[in-house]
Amino acid sequence: MWALRYDPEICRECPSPRCLLQCQYMEMGEEEARGEILKLSRGEDSRVLEKCMTCYGCEEYCPYGNHPYFLICEMREKRGIYTAPRPITNQWINMTQMQGRALIGKVGEVVLSSCLLPSLGTMASTGEIFSQISSSMVFGAEFMCPAVHTHFAKMSVVKERLPQVLDNFRKLGVKRVICLHDECYGTFTTLAKAYGIEVPFEPVYYMDFLLERLEELKPKITPLNITAVYQRPCSNRWIPEKQDVLRRILDLLGVRLLDRNHQGERSLCCGGILRLVGGYKLADEIQRRNIADMADTGADYCIFNCPACQETLGSKVAKAGLKPIHIIDLCKMALGEISQEEE
């Protein structure tokens, strides 16, 4: 079985326990934060094991890439701690099981992966951006990154399924996989590495692909001249270096991204997973704070990167007066493939 590449020495010698100090859901002072991460590094019980909301944030806050989040998940599973109710945990394990029903397009060296999210497949199957590769789409549990199970502290499921997923890609003989979901890209570049699992292809971040295509299609872009805020998904925490790509895309589209309190490292969960893990009261409160923060900017649009976030928050941000839109659809809008009214 794959083992987490975690070095307790790094935590012991860490000058600042940023990982827990920055947490958006657990309040603790510097001394307590240091004490709790040291407990975790020694494999001891910690209140973090009961209270962590699985936002992935500590993976980003740790400046050494020492994987505090995966450590918490491992320790929870070892102790039999369920983050969400047991039937919900098992529901997610069951619903993401491979059943030999994956949809595989005309695959060449490059493949477009829509994970197990049908809406990504729908968005990427039309329009000029993806026109050259949309026929190479794969969809299904066989190609789904199993990172969602970290929310349920089921690292055994992650470690069992990830090598199978990678093997399924390997069997296709692909060299590059364009990941339409941040979670897939983050899994292939961060989680796999944390466990020393070799990835037999080059993962491509879909926003890098979008940026490249938009550069090529630049003459066709009509600047949108709109303002927007951004809902950063949890899995983007595993690839913080990619945050700048979004800004560059928005510049090309003529979208002014407005600053808000809960952005970057201070981003808040959409509430989907939080509802399962933390309960409705916390999820409602976080959503209320998040949406109020968006609405305060007076932005026209709320841009989503993750379809699951959009499904959870979309109607709620719309009620607050912001138009919800996925970044892919925003690109299509600038290319004239979707009208602003239609969207």
114 or 312: CB nearest other proteins: 312
User: 268 and 232 in contact (C-beta within 8 Å)?
Assistant: no
Which stretch in 120-128, 187-195, 209-217, 269-277 sits in contact with other proteins by CB under 8 A?
269-277
Here's the x/- map for other proteins, 67-86, by CB under 8 A: it reads as ---------------x-xxx
- At 266, list the tokens: 């201070």
Least distance from C-beta 168 to other proteins, angstroms?
Answer: 18
User: 295 and 266 in contact (C-beta within 8 Å)?
Assistant: no
Q: Does residue 280 bind other proteins (CB under 8 A)?
A: yes
88 or 107: CB nearest other proteins: 88
Interstrand relation of 103-104 and 137-139 (parallel, antiparallel or unpaired): antiparallel
Cα 90 to Cα 164: distance, rounded to the nearest angstrom: 19
Instruction: Please report the sign of the dihedral spanned by the C-alpha atoms of residue 163, residue 168, residue 169, residue 170.
Output: positive
Q: Does residue 320 bind other proteins (CB under 8 A)?
A: no
The CA-atom distances, in angstroms, between 174 and each of 134, 165, 189, 205 are: 15, 13, 16, 15
Among 67, 154, 181, 275, binds other proteins (CB under 8 A): 275
Amino acid identity, position 176: R
Q: Does residue 233 bind other proteins (CB under 8 A)?
A: no
Among 276, 306, 325, 328, binds other proteins (CB under 8 A): 276
186 or 314: CB nearest other proteins: 314
Which H/E stretch holds residue 111? strand 110-113
Cα 248 to Cα 239: distance, rounded to the nearest angstrom: 16
Cα 167 to Cα 95: distance, rounded to the nearest angstrom: 20
Least distance from C-beta 295 to other proteins, angstroms?
Answer: 15
- At 307, list the tokens: 């379809």
Size of the site for other proteins (CB under 8 A): 21
Q: Does residue 279 bind other proteins (CB under 8 A)?
A: yes
Among 30, 50, 95, 298, binds other proteins (CB under 8 A): 95
Q: Does residue 99 bind other proteins (CB under 8 A)?
A: yes
Which stretch in 3-11, 94-102, 209-217, 240-248 sits in contact with other proteins by CB under 8 A?
94-102
